[in-house]
Chain A
Amino acid sequence: MLVIVVGLPVAALGYHLHLFPDRSGVRTIDIVAAAPERGGFQPDVIRVAAGEKVRLRFSVPDVTHGIALGPGLGIDLGQIDPGQVEEIELVFAEPGRYAYYCNTWCSPNHWRMRGVIEVYDPANPSRLVSDSRPDPVTGALAEQGIDIDAPHPASVIPAAAKPSATRGEAFSTRAETPLPPEFDDASWRRGHSPAEAHTLLNRELPALSEEEAWDIIAFHWLRDLTPERREWATEQYAKNCAACHGEAGTGTGPGVDALRQQGLGRHGEEDETTAINDPQTILGGTSNIYYAKIRRGGMGTGMPDFGPVFTEDETWILVDYLWTFQFAE
């Protein structure tokens, strides 16, 4: 009897401890991934030396989570269902801060479900890993006095259906009168809203029809979105954005109800829409503003900061993708 009562636990624990951490001399870090109200990631900060091979084992006790690592690592363990364990072995080449985060809506607090990986320099382990350099875009917006949390309603919007980038491209290439040079300037485009571009076109090329003008804008606002970038963004949008903003950008995902119940920011007022497919709401804003919102999060709206999760370039892909809710190909 003693054999059973004492032996079984010892055997089980022994098997567990022996099997995993020591299996191949790789340091294994066990991370429990639970919804934030049940403890979130435990631990939520891990320290790893640059160049050190580590194994991260995520186990899920409560509901399905999607586990990904960023920024710029391109690691996504996919969805892990309760009671299952997924692991990954990896080496961080450079010191820096990385994040592990949940990208499947799992709770009203889903957006808080983050963990930090501090990759330190083994030669100088005590040096703090700096958070990140200040973001130039966000900084510039602040300098210009642009409040990224304020609404930026469009002064003018397309009259009818979604403008078409394909038509816009055809028109741009065969146009007898050249377009204003600003249209070929990526940084100008990022700093100006489609509505402003429309005003410019109206002034410079008054002969254009309404439809033609919007088609041209559609083409230029989507021109950086290559098929690969679009594919990446579509996947990331589905994982990180759709739960609140909705598959079609209607702002009616189930996450909005959850945030509203927490009285978070503008979601508190029923009539305030977060619809990113609404031209009035979106066409007055600039790519820079949306870039800043994505990276920093919307203060008080429950929009998380994706800065720690995506690289700057990844963020730009998402911003470019955002315009697909306004403009058709």
Chain B
Amino acid sequence: MSESRLDLLTRFPWLKEAIKSRLWQPAAMLLTLSFFVLVILTGLLGTPAGSRNFGIIFVWIVWWAVLIIVLIPFFGRLWCAVCPIPGPGEWLQRRGIISRVPGKLRSLGWRWPRPLRNIWLQNAGFLMMAMFSTIILTRPLLTGWLLLGFLLLSVLFSILFQNRVFCRYVCPVGGFIGLYSLLSPLELRVKDVAVCREHKTKDCLVGTSCSYGCPWLVYPGTLKRNAYCGLCAECVRACPKDNIGLNLRPFGSDLLVDKERRMDEAFKAFIMLSCSLLYSVVLLGPWGWLKALANMETVSGWALYATGFLVVNLLVVPGLFWLTTVLARHLSGLHASVHRLFVDHAYGLVPLGLAGWIAFSLSFIFVNGSYVIPVLSDPFGWGWDLIGTSRVAWTPLALGFLPALQVITLLVGLVFSITTLYRIAQQHSSAFAGHALVSSGDRAWWATLPTAGFATGVTLLFLWIFLG
């Protein structure tokens, strides 16, 4: 596997210097923080008309587009390294922003409860947000309060717990970025595991005089997947053995790491897939009654919507996939339990899920992207005209290409998913080589047939919403 890696830090020494610098992360965070503060301000004080409010436009169009179309697919968790939300809390813990302030992190040092050391909390948080998403992403005031809430919550968590417990276990966005970063072509890994095994002081975990211990509570020496590495590069700064690389690698590599698959992450995959479908139906569909329910026009209507939303997310989609796995096990004769196969194969849905999100996002980014221009001139909707563009009219862009772009995205996602599903099945079929009746390849193929059918069905559903 490792032969298909290209260590960017060895290849580009300037990049290594840049990354080791203590400057880039705080600089980026301060930049995003200024946008963030402006977003909160415009959200709380600016016009309630979302399409004329900097906060709404910059969070739900600009940030979202960059995140889902560029950062996650190509750079994994890079957003987490520059996200402004944990900034103030982290700087309080460190008592400094740029330089390494000597001494321990300052916090009450509580321990994060063991039952919550997973992403169930993030799954729940994301579902909660998603249920309210129709009203959040159309109301500047709600967006403002939500983001301010995140900021305060992250500060609170930094006071109670050491390091980025908020990012790792609480942030609803971090959960899915982590899962989807498994397929990004960028990874931070040790070059030689043996070197770490021999190295007793574990500088990357405890920190050095010029670096902090891993804020994400990750030990690079055994790091196999992107899921919980925030790409902050503290370990690169710490490592006295120069044993950490930033690798370019094939897309989707981490989806095949078979030792750390878990039910909480599997459910994250289902939730993300379901949500991208539901969003497409509710927000892009022509059904006004559905939008009215989601828009909380009546409490009972919204309760109905929320119930349906949760049922689809937690029962229908996982349930159908469970049945698919049962069928796959039956067809292939794989020995692993249905439970195991269910969890493992869920990772195969990650590429399709991301493709679904990209296809969904493309449609409103091209349609509504032009809103960016007037809000730059008049962020609050108070009648300003900073750069003379406040009256630029809404102009949908590139609608002719949109369907083709969506189809291509979905097809890439589908083929990627089928391949991944097959390779996950292979891992199970090679587990018992003694069986002579069917070759392991055939067994994997039969196991893939139903799951590939499931993925194809989901793709067709997307196509029907977008084009049908």
Contacts and interface: CB of A to CB of B under 8 A. Distances in A.
Interface in A1-40: 1, 4-5, 8-9, 12, 15-16, 19-20
Interface in B353-393: 379-384
A85 B384 CA distance: 9
Contacts of A82: 47-49, 51-52
Interface string A51-76: 00000010111100000000000000
A273 interface: no
B238 interface: no
A293 B195 CA distance: 94
A39 to B, nearest CB: 11
Given A4-B33, A4-B37, A82-B47, A15 B384 contact: yes
A11 to B, nearest CB: 10
Contact of A1 (B48, B53, B88): B88
Interface residues on A, range: 20 to 34
A87 interface: yes
Contacts of B439: none
B49 A83 contact: yes
A1 B381 contact: no
Interface residues of B, number: 22
A84 interface: yes
Contacts of A62: 48-49
Given A1-B91, A4-B33, A62-B49, A20 B41 contact: no
Given A20-B383, A87-B383, A8 B52 contact: no
B163 to A, nearest CB: 19
B174 interface: no
B37 A83 contact: no
A87 B384 CA distance: 12
B91 to A, nearest CB: 7
A19 B91 CA distance: 35
A8 B33 CA distance: 11
A61 B38 contact: no
Contact of B382 (A4, A5, A85): A85
A1 B384 contact: no
Contact of A19 (B49, B379, B384): B384
A16 B380 contact: yes
A75 to B, nearest CB: 18
A4 B30 contact: yes
A83 B138 CA distance: 13
Contact of B384 (A9, A16, A81): A16
B47 to A, nearest CB: 4
Interface string B15-47: 000000000000000100110011001000001
Contacts of A15: 384
Interface string B59-100: 000000000000000000000000000011001000001000
B37 A5 contact: yes
A15 B380 CA distance: 12
B30 A60 contact: no
B33 A61 contact: no
A61 B37 contact: no
Contacts of A59: 47, 381-383
A8 B37 contact: yes
A81 B381 CA distance: 11
Given A1-B91, A4-B30, A8-B34, A60 B49 contact: yes
B381 A84 contact: yes
Contact of A61 (B34, B48, B51): B48
Given A9-B41, A15-B384, A57-B383, A4 B47 contact: no
Nearest to A57: B383
A85 B383 contact: yes
Contact of A4 (B34, B48, B51, B380): B34
A84 B41 CA distance: 18
A83 B34 contact: no
Contacts of B87: 1
A107 to B, nearest CB: 15
B34 A12 contact: no
A33 to B, nearest CB: 12
Contacts of B51: 82-83
A8 B41 contact: yes
Contacts of B38: 8, 12
Contacts of B34: 4, 8
A19 B378 CA distance: 13
B52 A16 contact: no
B41 A12 contact: yes
Contacts of A19: 384
B378 to A, nearest CB: 8
A1 B382 CA distance: 26
Interface of A: 1, 4-5, 8-9, 12, 15-16, 19-20, 57, 59-62, 81-85, 87
Given A60-B49, A83-B381, 12 more contacts: A1-B87, A4-B37, A5-B33, A5-B88, A8-B37, A8-B41, A16-B380, A57-B383, A82-B49, A82-B52, A83-B47, A83-B52
23 contacts: A1-B87, A1-B91, A4-B30, A8-B41, A12-B379, A12-B380, A15-B384, A16-B380, A19-B384, A20-B383, A59-B381, A59-B382, A59-B383, A61-B47, A61-B48, A82-B48, A82-B51, A83-B49, A83-B52, A84-B381, A84-B383, A85-B381, A85-B383
